[in-house]
Amino acid sequence: MERHFDEELRELEEQLLRMGALVGEMISLSIKALAQRETGLITVVREKEDEVNRLHIKIDELCLRLLALRQPLAVDLRFITAGLRINSDLERMGDLAVNITDATRPLLEEPPLKPLIDIPRMSEMAANMAKESLNSFLKRDTKLAKAILNQDNEVDYLKDQIFREFLTYMMQDSSTIKRALELILISRHLERIADHACNIAEDVIFMVMGKDIRHPKLQR
Amino acid sequence: MERHFDEELRELEEQLLRMGALVGEMISLSIKALAQRETGLITVVREKEDEVNRLHIKIDELCLRLLALRQPLAVDLRFITAGLRINSDLERMGDLAVNITDATRPLLEEPPLKPLIDIPRMSEMAANMAKESLNSFLKRDTKLAKAILNQDNEVDYLKDQIFREFLTYMMQDSSTIKRALELILISRHLERIADHACNIAEDVIFMVMGKDIRHPKLQR
């Protein structure tokens, strides 16, 4: 029995949401490994990465199959190409969670550097933006998507703040250099997770409105 | 007069190569600004970014139009979806060149930190991989694409090397901390440029062979 196109589109949506849920868990776990100093969680993140990579390939194949067999138009075409893009953003977000664990591992071999400054706050923001970007996709909610884009400035502010404060630490006490450096790198990974959440939000706006809002400063 | 599909595909290819050339210039210029301490080049990179962003949107529109109007199959479909992906990789590479200039600016306000360790070598590699990835696309050359993928380990090795050596600097002389830190961040941007070149190489292999070679370690 041939399946309905609608059903296939729903399958694509479900796979993306499943991937989004997995990536969300990877982000939360990587941060938890750092904040609560639990090495065991690093292994869990790695295991989930395999599953994310499997989904990454599967979703791409599904998108290509739908483009080839269904020759979709207008909103369906935008949905499927947004799917391709969101798929790749989610996969990178998963990679970044792995990067966070890579930077966390050496940190857990040394005594904790307290405080972590704004890292917990920044990680909460990035994880939340990731989650909400998927929600905006599920609900086709452009208002929510725009709210995510508006948070990016705050993430950038936190990133600069973290840089400055850890720099001061390093200058004052050279025994903190290695740890502060890893924490700065972690803040950069968090920044990129937030960037990918913004990419997804932009895709949602494009998908719903058929309007490309990237590069707003351009005179076209 | 209606244009031929072949002609439109050629236009897509030309736009991608034009974008690739611009991004290649941005990368070279950003590195030159750092190595030769020329602030003026930073402005040039910024100007090119506007053009890259314009092309980014234009190429996406072209891909979507081709998907909608031509309903391509097999190799043409893979070419256009690869185009979408390569377009986004190129745009990010341009962003990374801008990131390099952002980290270079404060460096040029202070006396030079000599030597730059493996940064010149790493930047040469990343710029070359970016250029060759576009070449592999132009020539549909999977052998070249695979050669690019093989260089990624060396880039990672250089990145770790740079990290360790600048860390030693920082520990030995706290007056180098700020500069060494910016240089470590630059090495991370170079690493990501090389990653995007690898993404493009993977897209070329997929486009030519219809085979997804990402995530090679997965048991599928």
Express each pLDDT in A98-150 by its tens digit: 999 999 999 999 999 878 889 999 999 999 999 999 999 999 999 999 999 99
CATH code for the domain of B67 = 1.20.58.220
Q: Does B171 sit within 8 Å of A214, measured CB to CB? A: no
**Confidence class for position B2, pLDDT limits 50, 70, 90:** low
pLDDT for residue A219: 54
pLDDT for residue B219: 54
- Could you tell me if residue B220 is inside a domain? no
What's the mean pLDDT in B137-153?
Answer: 96
Report how far residue A218's alpha carbon sits from residue A216's, in angstroms, rounded to the nearest whole number: 6
Nearest chain B CA: its distance from A32 CA (Å): 24
Report the predicted TM-score, pTM, of the whole model to 2 decimal places.
0.93
- Could you tell me if residue B214 is inside a domain? no
Q: Does A88 sit within 8 Å of B84, measured CB to CB? A: no
| Residue A171 near residue A210, CB atoms below 8 Å | no
What's the mean pLDDT in B147-170?
Answer: 96
- Could you tell me if residue A51 is inside a domain? yes
For residue B78, pLDDT beyond 60: yes
CB < 8 Å & 24+ apart, contacts of A59-66: A59/A12, A59/A15, A59/A16, A59/A19, A59/A83, A59/A87, A60/A84, A60/A87, A60/B212, A61/B212, A62/A8, A62/A11, A62/A12, A62/A15, A63/A12, A63/A87, A63/B81, A64/B77, A64/B78, A64/B81, A66/A5, A66/A8, A66/A9, A66/A12
Give the number of domains in chain A.
1
Residues of A in contact with B78 (CB under 8 A): 64
If we measure between CA atoms, which residue out of A169, A52, A165 comes closest to residue B217? A52
- Could you tell me if residue B215 is inside a domain? no
- Could you tell me if residue A48 is inside a domain? yes
For residue A213, pLDDT beyond 90: no
- Could you tell me if residue B218 is inside a domain? no
Residues of B in contact with A215 (CB under 8 A): 53-54, 56-57
- Could you tell me if residue B127 is inside a domain? yes
Nearest chain A CA: its distance from B153 CA (Å): 16
Range of the domain at B76: 5-209
- Could you tell me if residue A79 is inside a domain? yes
Report how far residue A98's alpha carbon sits from residue A117's, in angstroms, rounded to the nearest whole number: 22
Give A19-28 pLDDT, tens digit per residue. Answer: 999 999 999 9
